[in-house]
Structure 1
Amino acid sequence: MSFDGLSKTFASRRRNAGFYLHPVALLITLLAIAAMVKLGFWQIDRGQEKQAIVDYHATSSAQQTQSLTLEHIRQQSLQTDDQIEITGSFQDGAYFLVDNQTYNGRVGYHVVALLENEALAPYLVPVNLGWVPLGGPRDTLPEVELPQGTRTVSGRIQLPAERPFLLAEQEFSAQLPQRVQYLELDSIRAQTQLPLASFSILLNENIDFGFRRDWPVVVMEPHRHYAYAAQWFGLAIAALVIFLIANKRLARRPPQPLQQQHTSEDSGKNNKNGSGEHKP
């Protein structure tokens, strides 16, 4: 028996067994299910990471506020969400405008001003004062009035992300104010020689100066990630069920006997040969 005949015999036996598996369809289905399961577990991991951030924030919020010292800056001992307090004055016109920030559906900037304190010299502490609207064309920076005089700043520490998502590599200048995609403090310090601390302070929402502020602990709550994970797992199960049902229906089709298949093929060949002129 030829290879073609063995393949047809094997397919017929699978059909007679009540189930039919198409190799290509099986491979595609398995790859799709594997991808969806992987995405589900990835969402679970993200949810656990966000939950850890939320728990740490709750713990830090319950701790006593620390006074910022020069040792904190030199040793880089502060962590994200640590409660901090510092008294100083903002340098006039010395601020960054962090682009693409939204507030109640409106697009604008976060204003990060530089606070100086004699006890922390020569370091300048970036303080996020909150959100301001665009205020005009994008090629024109909005005019921002910083708080005047000596101010007591209290808020929580924010450390820059190690690998922020950026549309393009940023270039900074020492001329302020300036617009930035992201507050890359290490890069700003290296390119401008500004003596910036390695963190910024998110000004507390109950402070009576600054701009509009709403600091979410995480952008997406942990339960949202778990819900997405459940959806991916559900899609994987649905893909498997649909595949099994489709192959079950294929198996229910009455198979054509092998002898009849060969007869039909031979008849087709004869008809093809007979379509031309007959020789005497």
Structure 2
Amino acid sequence: MAAFVVMCKLGFWQLDRAEQKRQQIALFTQQGEITTEELLPYTEVTLVEINGRKVALQGKIVTDKIWLLDNKTHNGKVGYNVITPFLLKALAKKGVAEQVKDKQILVNWGWLQASKYRSELPSVKLPDNIELTGVVRTTDFKQFSLQQDHKQDESGWPKRVQSVSNIIANLDTRTILPVMVYADTNENINYPQTYKPVVMPPEKHQAYAVQWFLLALSSLLVFMFASLHKGKQTRKTPTSSLKENNEN
């Protein structure tokens, strides 16, 4: 019975999580895209508010600085996430141009398959100017990082890194905004984007809830069967004892 109660609670908890994910997805959809004007100037509060929002920005890819984020898989294959700085296009609007001048953001352009040999890095092809659309991430930059192998620190570009924090540690925070944009796959850059703003969709939480409820039902049936079986044994015991006494 204790197992039945616990599993029912876990099932309802999964249903609550599914509803939270629906609301989160709906919020991202309703809020619309962020422009350069909304991105700057930024504060810690505004950065939290725009986390997970869609962005539409214009600028130039800094193609002479390319990082390959290691140990990323896609469809069972090993590869990298391609990350570069993105120089925001200066705007003509009064008061905004100065804020945008020389400002850059980090952009994850998607997944690129690794070369056959570990010692070889894949060739990265990126255009110069592009209209960027994607999802902005402003929190939790620090990721789980494997121990950096200094023997693999390439002297030139692109550079292979183990986490985003390895990239940020070597950036000028005066010009780089503390955000990461996960770009949509487009015709100019055909790298599949493996990032998902909502890692586990509502449907998966619902499936887990059904599993917990089925397990709860199974535990209840086991309890009922065991109780009936024990009751039968209890009823048989006095009869057997009486029969033994009569024989004596």
> When the two structures are superposed, what TM-score results if normalisation uses the length of structure 1?
0.64
Does 2:46 align with 1:77? yes
Question: Which structure: larger Rg?
Answer: 1
Deviation by residue 1:219-257 (Cα, 9 ceiling, x = unmatched): 332022112112102211210221121121121124434
Q: In structure 1, how many angstroms separate the alpha carbons of the residues matched to 2:8 and 2:145?
A: 30
Q: Decide whether aligned partners of structure 1 residues 82 and 167 sit closer, same or farther in structure 2, where only a CA change above 3 A counts.
A: closer
Determine the structure 1 residue equivalent to 2:218: 238
Q: Tell me the CA shift for residue 155 of structure 1.
A: 2.8
Larger mean CA deviation between 105-114 and 225-234 belongs to 105-114
Map 1:37-186; keep pairs closer than 5 Å: 37-60=8-31, 63=32, 65-68=34-37, 71-73=40-42, 77-78=46-47, 79-117=50-88, 120=100, 123-148=103-128, 150-161=129-140, 164=143, 166=144, 168=146, 177-184=158-165
Give RMSD over aligned pairs: 3.7
How far is 1:183 from its partner?
Answer: 2.9
Say if 1:93 and 1:146, in contact at 8 Å, map to a contact too: no
Q: In the alignment, is residue 194 of structure 1 matched against residue 172 of structure 2?
A: yes
For residue 49 of structure 1, report the CA deviation from its aligned partner: 2.8
Offset, 1:114: 0.8
Shift of 1:87: 3.1
Which SS does the other structure have where 2:85 is aligned?
A: strand
Q: Which runs of 5+ in 2 are unaligned?
A: 91-97
| Aligned residue type for 2:107 | V
Residue number in structure 2 paired with 1:212: 191
Query: Against the structure 1 CA distance between its residues 155 and 76, is the aligned structure 2 distance closer, same or farther, given a 3 Å change threshold?
Result: farther
Q: Equivalents in 2 of 1:44, 1:80: separation in Å?
A: 24
| 1:154 Cα deviation from its structure 2 partner | 3.0
CA positional deviation for 1:39: 2.9
**Is the contact made by 1:43 and 1:226 (CA closer than 8 Å) also made in structure 2?**
yes
- By how many angstroms is 1:93 displaced? 3.6
CA contact (8 A) 1:174 1:192 kept: no
Taking the aligned partners of 2:160 and 2:23, their CA distance within structure 1 comes to 32
* Alpha carbons of structure 1 residues 33 and 93: separation in structure 2 relative to 1, 3 Å: farther
Could you tell me whether the CA contact under 8 Å between 1:57 and 1:217 is conserved in 2?
A: no
Q: State the distance in 2 between where 1:40 and 1:139 align.
A: 48
Is the 1:135–1:142 Cα contact (8 Å) retained in structure 2?
A: yes
SS in structure 2 opposite 1:256? Answer: helix
Conserved 8 A contact 1:112-1:127: yes
Of 232, 241, 244, which residue of structure 2 is paired with 1:252? Answer: 232
- Counterparts in 2 of 1:255 and 1:115: CA distance versus 1, 3 Å: same
Report the Cα distance in structure 2 between the residues aligned to 1:236 and 1:83, rounded to whole angstroms.
41
- Distance in 2 (CA, whole Å) between partners of 1:216 and 1:70 is 21
Identity of aligned residues (%): 26
The number of equivalent residue pairs is 226
Q: CA deviation at 1:113?
A: 0.9
